[in-house]
């Protein structure tokens, strides 16, 4: 039972880490798109 809980916590940590990296890459992608859109709108204004 103790081994199972340790294994579960390890799996949970791995899952959290993978989720965090996924969210981080998604955030950077959104930020890049946002910056690109802002640049484009600024350029098209002039």
Angle at 36 between CA 31 and CA 38, to 5 degrees: 95
Average pLDDT (21-39) is: 87
Take residue 39 and report the two structure tokens written for it.
């640049």
* DSSP H helical ranges for 1-46: 2-45
Q: Determine if the pTM surpasses 0.85.
A: no
Q: Can you tell me the distance from the alpha carbon of 44 to that of 42, in angstroms, rounded to the nearest whole number?
A: 6
What is the per-residue pLDDT across 5-24, written as a single tens digit (0 to 9) for each?
777 787 778 788 888 888 88
d(CA 7, CA 15): 12
């Amino acid at each position: 039972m103790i081994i199972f809980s340790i294994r579960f916590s390890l799996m949970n940590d791995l899952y959290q880490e993978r989720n965090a990296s996924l969210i981080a890459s998604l955030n950077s992608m959104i930020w890049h798109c946002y910056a690109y859109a802002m640049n484009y709108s600024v350029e098209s204004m002039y």
